[in-house]
Amino acid sequence: MAQGSELASNSPREHWGGRAGFVLAAIGSAVGLGNMWRFSYLAAENGGAAFVLLYLAFTLVIGLPVLLAELVVGRGAQRGPVRALAHFGGAGWGSLGILFVGAGFVILAYYSVIAGWTFRYAAVGLLSGFAADSGTTFEAIASSPQAILWHLGFMALTGWIVAYGVRAGIERSALILMPSLFVIVLGLAFYAATLNGGDEGYAYFLRLDVGKLWNADVLAAAAGQAFFSLSLGMGAMLTFASYLDRSHHLPNESLTIAGADFGVAFVAGLVVFPMIFALGLQDEVGESTVGALFITLPHAFEVMGGVGRVIGVFFFAALVVGALTSAVSVLEVVVATCIDEFGWSRPVASGTSSAAIAALGILPARSLEILGWMDQLAGNILLIAGGLGLAIFVGWVMDDPVREVSVGASGVRWFGLWRVLLRSAVPLGLLLVLANALRNLIG
């Protein structure tokens, strides 16, 4: 492929206005429902502190190397995933990019449904307070025709932001939304610390039971979560990095993003666990995958009375913010690809893609079973397969990734280790997670 002339013939690529804009948008992609909803229920289900420690370890050993790999490919190629992979590996590797776009479709279709519930909880909490019978409320919210409307509304909002473009839409919203999210989550953690009886919650979350470290399911859950939470395996970080210029220090950016992502999940744990234990609701958690957040927490907010209502509205508002900035990054993968491949204008690409994804999302909005199935397919299989492909690509196929990553970051001593991890531990780890997921799927 004649990359040089091809790049030159397109209109100039958009770029981020500043470093803070890129970093906050990338953190916005990473921080989402995964940090609060998925992380809390997985930690509850998999033995608390042991899971948290393993999740941290996998963030460093698997998440960080793949994140840096996505940034390197995106910035180097200055193209969306399909063209970026073809740029460095030839047209055949472009098909891995097509897998990314497909994963984006599946993820956003159901993620938007959950985001719609979240939105509705925030609105209901604000307008009329949280209901006493939170289980019934959840069923009503999740499976009524209104679930479709909230999902469509959320997709419209996401498409609207993306239509404005990288600087005026994605960057500007991240600069406002992400700092608000940090303030809310920290404030909630301080509030949770004032509750009587939260000690057991902290103990569950923080006191390590070494015996739980060597359980295959806990290991797989922690590895999968490290990956999901960093938005890896479908080219979201790759696409964001394609709007970076070559002055950026990619290793520092990846450390900042991974640190903030782990930080928000950890602080969210400091909110959720003391609150649930203080109110004696721990047995409700882990009964269902969505229980921890959408049933138990509203129950807790209701029990806490007036203060609970305020706390609950802030909690769900933070979730909406996290979900929105994550959804924007998924949609951007699809939109960037449509612009690259079909030459569409950004508003047309954004309108068409969000409408198509919104239509697909009507299925999970009507059935929790389909939603759960899509979550399994995306989180455990598509993202992991995508990340595996990318690690192999950068580790084994790409010409000289260390030269590429050194641009703007000379003298970093762990680039050798990065490459070794991408060639060995990362693919091996992801392969095991994938095998475990396929076994569970069949079994």
Of 158 and 326, which CB lies nearer to ligand TRP in the complex structure?
A: 326
Interacting residue with ligand TRP among 16, 21, 25, 32 (CB under 6 A): 32
Q: Choose the stretch contacting ligand TRP; rule: CB under 6 A; options: 31-39, 173-181, 342-350, 351-359.
A: 31-39
Helix axes 216-229, 49-58, angle to 10 degrees: 50
Give yes or no for residue 40 binding ligand TRP (CB under 6 A). no
The CA-atom distances, in angstroms, between 258 and each of 56, 202, 226, 321 are 10, 23, 9, 19
d(CA 401, CA 88): 10
Write down the least CB distance from residue 36 to ligand TRP, Å: 8
In angstroms, the CA 346 to CA 396 distance is 34
- Integer Cα distance of 383 and 100 in angstroms: 8
Among 16, 22, 26, 29, binds ligand TRP (CB under 6 A): 29
Q: Residues 22, 51, 130, 228: which binds ligand TRP (CB under 6 A)?
A: 228
Rounded alpha-carbon distances, angstroms, from residue 68 to 248, 251, 254: 12, 7, 6
Instruction: Assess 33 for contact with ligand TRP (CB under 6 A).
Output: yes
Tokens of 169: 């839409």
Q: Judged by CB under 6 A, does residue 225 bind ligand TRP?
A: no
In this structure, are residues 162 and 169 in contact, taking their beta carbons and an 8 Å threshold? yes
Find tokens 């739980």 and name the residue: 212
Query: 320-349: which residues touch ligand TRP (CB under 6 A)?
Result: 326, 329-330
Applying CB under 6 A, among 21, 34, 386, 429 the residue interacting with ligand TRP is 34
| 234 in contact with ligand TRP (CB under 6 A) | yes
**With CB under 6 A, what is the number of residues at the site for ligand TRP?**
16
By CB under 6 A, tell whether 231 contacts ligand TRP: yes
* DSSP-assigned letters across all residues of 71-93: HHHHHHHTS-HHHHHHHHH-HHH
Per-position DSSP letters for 96-126, written without gaps between them: HHHHHHHHHHHHHHHHHHHHHHHHHHHHHHH
Q: Which two tokens stand for residue 85?
A: 């992979």
**Chain residues 70-109 in contact with ligand TRP, contact rule CB under 6 A:** 107
Q: Which of 170, 236, 244, 279 binds ligand TRP (CB under 6 A)?
A: 236
CB nearer to ligand TRP: give 285 or 330.
Answer: 330
Q: Does 229 bind ligand TRP (CB under 6 A)?
A: yes
Q: How far is the CB of 411 from ligand TRP (least distance, A)?
A: 31
Q: Which is nearer to ligand TRP, 31 or 398 (CB)?
A: 31
Q: Which stretch binds ligand TRP (CB under 6 A): 27-35, 55-63, 114-122, 387-395?
A: 27-35
By CB under 6 A, is residue 173 in contact with ligand TRP?
A: no
Task: Tell me the window of 15-23, 69-77, 225-233, 307-315 that interacts with ligand TRP (CB under 6 A).
Answer: 225-233
Q: Which of 30, 131, 304, 335 binds ligand TRP (CB under 6 A)?
A: 30
Contact set with ligand TRP (CB under 6 A): 29-30, 32-35, 107, 228-229, 231, 234, 236, 326, 329-330, 383
